[in-house]
């Protein structure tokens, strides 16, 4: 079960709960470093920037208790600090967010063949994601792996809510096309793998459609 990051944030800001701070730190550190590398193209600099942000969060925790979206807050803080870093060093970097070796399906079975199949599925999906345009790829990974909502990604990347939606649905359509079997009909195992990948993508699409419908209803007070 994923930790409630908003609750952890409140606990360490209001109650000075060190364990809550550690929980938030461990849940977000790697994601923030990877996002920071997108701007700095430097792993060491990214780790220093993210560590500095966490130190500031702890030192200023009493002033941050009113933050309603802590995940978005730390992403934006890392982005701003990354841009300051680049300005100071006279360079601007925009590189790929690569996660082929880190993002994988949970090992729900100890069966070696099942584990290998899951790794193959993830590798194939990662390769397909890498074919997406840069901004679409970042949007996809922030939502899929960062756990951010549409509005949070829009705020973070300085693009509209509708642009985020467009990127996501175009990404899903592109992934479906890339993962579609071509030419000679594939073997039975290949068909099964493709079907599983399609199921993953379609499940993601359905969830996002439900979210859009819910947000639309809220906006128009239906």
Q: What is the pLDDT of residues 90-100, one digit of tens each?
A: 654 544 444 43
What does the block give as tokens for 149? Answer: 């909502």
Q: Is 150 left (phi over 0), alpha (psi -120 to 50) or beta?
A: alpha
pLDDT category, 196, cuts 50, 70, 90? Answer: low
Tens of pLDDT along 149-187?
888 888 888 888 888 888 888 888 877 776 665 544 544
The alpha carbon dihedral of 66, 69, 70, 73 has a sign of negative
Report residue 192's pLDDT band, with 50, 70 and 90 as the boundaries: low
What's the token pair of residue 48? 């220093």
**Length in residues, the chain:** 222
Alpha-carbon distance 46 to 39, whole Å?
A: 9
HSE value, Cβ hemisphere, 13 Å, CA-based, for 135: 13
Which two structure tokens, joined as six digits, stand for 79? Answer: 């982005």
């Amino acid at each position: 079960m994923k930790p409630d990051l908003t609750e952890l944030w409140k606990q360490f800001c209001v109650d000075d709960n060190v364990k809550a701070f550690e929980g938030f730190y461990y849940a977000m550190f790697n994601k923030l470093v990877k996002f920071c590398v997108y701007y700095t193209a430097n792993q060491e600099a990214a780790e220093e920037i993210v560590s500095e942000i966490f130190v500031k969060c702890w030192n200023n925790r009493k002033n941050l208790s009113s933050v309603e979206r802590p995940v978005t807050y730390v992403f934006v803080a890392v982005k701003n600090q990354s841009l300051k870093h680049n300005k100071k060093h006279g360079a601007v970097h925009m590189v790929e967010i690569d996660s082929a070796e880190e993002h994988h399906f949970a090992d729900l079975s100890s069966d070696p063949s099942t584990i290998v199949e899951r790794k193959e599925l993830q590798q194939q999906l990662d390769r397909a994601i890498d074919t997406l345009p840069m901004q679409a790829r970042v949007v996809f990974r922030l939502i899929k792996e960062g756990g951010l909502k549409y509005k949070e990604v829009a705020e973070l990347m300085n693009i509209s809510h509708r642009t985020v939606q467009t990127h996501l649905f175009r990404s899903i359509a592109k992934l479906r096309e890339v993962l579609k079997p071509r030419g000679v009909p594939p073997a039975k195992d290949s068909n099964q793998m493709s079907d599983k990948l399609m199921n993953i993508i379609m499940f993601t699409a359905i969830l996002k459609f439900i979210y859009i419908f819910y947000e639309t209803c809220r906006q128009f007070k239906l």
